[in-house]
Amino acid sequence: MRINARERMLTLLLAVVACFASSPWAAEAPPGTAVPRRPLKQRLQDGETCRGAFLGLLVGGPAAQFLAGQGFDFFILDLEHYTFDEATVREMILVARGAGIAPILRVGEPTQQVTRWLDTGAEGIVIPRAESRREAEAVVKYARYRPLGERGASSMNGHTDFTRVPDLPRFLERRNQEVLVLVMIETPRGLERADEILSTPGIDGAIIGTGDYSQEIGLAGQPDHPEVWKAAERLIAICRRKKKLVSVPIRRPEHVARWMDAGLNMVTFVDLALISQGIQLNFDQINRARGANRP
């Protein structure tokens, strides 16, 4: 037990050192050193294609490093449906910042936990099942500093890479610009009010929750049903018109081109789908080999 505790502490210390080295708030980097990556929100708004995944299984510092090493630009850790201890989530956020992958958290509801995770170093927040402007305003309250929200200032924390902030007003202004705040549209009621919800100052875009939406319209377990895709297309059109970011969870590789052709540049996979499909692909090879070796 003591060994595990030491290993965890070492991981956190390494993460802090890595974050400090890449921090735009640290002393100016010497010539030839790596330039900190641009915030995910800015990259998406500039039209860059960014790859990410919802995570319900992969968690912890090594998972963040693995995803970064595989070329992912962001992950959305699902705290709505899955249970992770806070120390592990904190470790994952810190390591992600050092590894150059944007950590985003989907939380259950817009409460003080939004502020805590952003202070820890998360680069974005996703709120599920948004159905009203009031709910959108609630997440903005905790995610944005004044004048957009009411988030309190913590100047020595993960989101500052534990370094001194020489100009706090400028830092708060930049964080308001850089933090990504997304709502999930998962019900017909939410879709009907999507225009109003996305008009809320401080909301950057939306993700359609095709799984829950299919359940809401009596098609549980059919997230790729044509009626669900129609709803996704409608949300995409609304977001385009309002110049907001938008994404759709992609569960099958053959659907990637379909959604990219629809204009998505925030390409969001699902870790459980990626893993299970990889396993099935290899199992299929076993079955083919068995068949080929039969007399």
Tell whether 143 is covered by a domain: yes
Confidence band, pLDDT 50/70/90 cuts, at residue 291:
confident
Distance in angstroms (rounded) separating the CA atoms of residues 162 and 22: 12
- The Cα–Cα gap between 293 and 287 comes to 10
**Does residue 2 carry a pLDDT above 50?**
no
Quote the pLDDT of residue 200. 98
Distance (Å, whole) CA 256 – CA 260: 6
Q: Is the pLDDT of residue 263 over 50?
A: yes
Does some domain include residue 56? yes
Burial class (CB in 10 A: 0-12, 13-18, 19+), 88: middle
Residue 32 lies in a domain: no
CA–CA separation, 129 and 164 (whole Å): 37
* pLDDT single digits (tens) 129-156: 999 999 999 999 999 999 999 999 998 9
Q: Does 288 fall in a domain?
A: yes
pTM: 0.86
pLDDT band at residue 3 under the 50/70/90 scheme: very low
What per-residue confidence (pLDDT) applies to 36? Answer: 63
- Give me the sign of the Cα torsion angle 121, 201, 190, 111: positive
Is the per-residue pLDDT at 17 higher than 60? no
The whole-chain average pLDDT of the chain stands at 89
How many of the other CB atoms lie within 10 Å of CB of 84?
A: 15
> What are the pLDDT digits (tens) for 93-109?
999 999 999 999 999 88
Q: Which of 18-22, 33-37, 206-210, 288-292 has the lowest mean pLDDT?
A: 18-22
Give the pLDDT band (50/70/90) at residue 35: very low
Among residues of the chain, what percentage have pLDDT more than 90?
Answer: 83
Confidence check: pLDDT of 25 > 50: no
Q: What is the residue range of 244's domain?
A: 2-20+43-293
Residue range 111-123: average pLDDT?
A: 96
> Which pLDDT tens digit goes with each residue over 51-62?
999 999 999 999
Alpha carbons 138 and 142: distance in angstroms, whole number: 7
Residue 37's pLDDT band (cuts 50, 70, 90)? confident
| pLDDT tens track for 173-186 | 999 999 999 999 99
**In the chain, how many domains are there?**
1
pLDDT at 294: 65
pLDDT above 60 (res 218): yes
Assigned domain for 152 exists: yes
Residues 225 and 3: their CA atoms lie apart, in Å, by: 49
Flag whether 35 is in a domain.
Answer: no
Instruction: Decide if pLDDT at 118 tops 80.
Output: yes
Domain assignment present for residue 26? The answer is no
CATH number, domain of 247, equals 3.20.20.60
Residue with the two structure tokens 């070796």:
293
Residue 123 domain-assigned? yes
pLDDT exceeds 70 at position 271: yes
